[in-house]
Amino acid sequence: MTVVERIDQVRAFVQNSGQSTIGMVATLGALHAGHRSLIEFARAAGDTVVATLFLNPMQFNSDNDIDSYPRTRDADLKLLRDAGAALVFAPSVETMYPPHCDTAVVPGHVAKRLEGMKRPGHFQGVCTVVAKLLNIVTPARAYFGQKDAQQIAVIRRMVSDLDMDVTIVICPTVRDSDGIALSSRNILLSPKERSRAVVIPRALEACREHFRAGERDAEALRVILRERLSNTVDLEYASVADPDSMDELDTVTQQGIASVAARIGTVRLIDNVPLTLSD
């Protein structure tokens, strides 16, 4: 595995990769088994994996938020090496956003709901950095986890609208044995907070079970989420929405996405489950 910090080094690697297809896995760092699974999916598809390791300041809403984000570079590099990444692009902020940089990618409607309301400017930061990374790495495929469902919808919309020549691959959420979705922020939970957090996947699974049993009224499904969460966590939202537009649904006809955001102590967690008739 090669670790580089400059854009020209990434482009030279891609140019010298011959007939290999490139698969990109973009990360903020503080990696876990969920990130490892993205690399494994890419390798299973036959891709040469380029992973990126960049704590993107543009997608954080406050200095406190980015300052509290875990930094585990040595462990991250070991995980990437063990998982089989061929190249790691770990640029500085100055490399990604030099002083003259004055352009951003501003997403539209899909970015204004849910996370977009709670974290103004977040998806502009996501779209800008992902667009830059896609331009630098030029992958055939880019791999993202289902846990960040709205991020996936926003990135897919950007890729389609800007005619980017890349396929966005969605990989299943990886969960711990207690059902909690793996997240870089989980390590910030105290043991007591961790025990409270299990209510989130349980509420989502209850919502999905009611959907499987025939409940199609989206508000009834949202009520299930709120009733199971409101007394245990600081609930920010409970949503049953269209997975492409992220608009709240009245009725789940073909597919939907049930998602929640909640705070436990100072830690903010998000999670979701797809609702599909073939589920």
- Residues involved in catalysis: 35
What's the CA gap between 125 and 218, in Å, rounded? 31
By C-alpha distance, which of 203, 110, 113 is closest to 154? Answer: 110
Answer yes or no: is 256 a known binding residue.
Answer: no
Q: Which helix (H) or strand (E) holds 269?
A: strand 267-276
By C-alpha distance, which of 201, 184, 185, 228 is closest to 32? Answer: 184
**Residue 79 neighbours by CB distance under 10 Å:** 19
Answer yes or no: is 151 a known binding residue.
Answer: yes
**Residue 175 neighbours by CB distance under 10 Å:** 15
φ, ψ of residue 278 to 5 degrees: the values are -85, 0
Answer yes or no: is 124 a known binding residue.
Answer: no
φ, ψ of residue 32 to 5 degrees: the values are -145, -175
By C-alpha distance, which of 251, 224, 253, 254 is closest to 238? Answer: 224
Answer yes or no: is 183 a known binding residue.
Answer: yes
Please report how many Cα atoms fall inside a 13 Å half-sphere around the Cα of residue 113, on the Cβ side. Answer: 21
**Residue 181, both tokens:** 């979705």
Answer yes or no: is 221 a known binding residue.
Answer: no
By C-alpha distance, which of 69, 68, 88 is closest to 78? Answer: 88
Answer yes or no: is 182 a known binding residue.
Answer: yes
Binding-site entries: 59, 145-148, 151, 174, 182-185
Binding-site entries for beta-alanine: 59
Binding-site entries for ATP: 145-148, 174, 182-185
Binding-site entries for (R)-pantoate: 59, 151
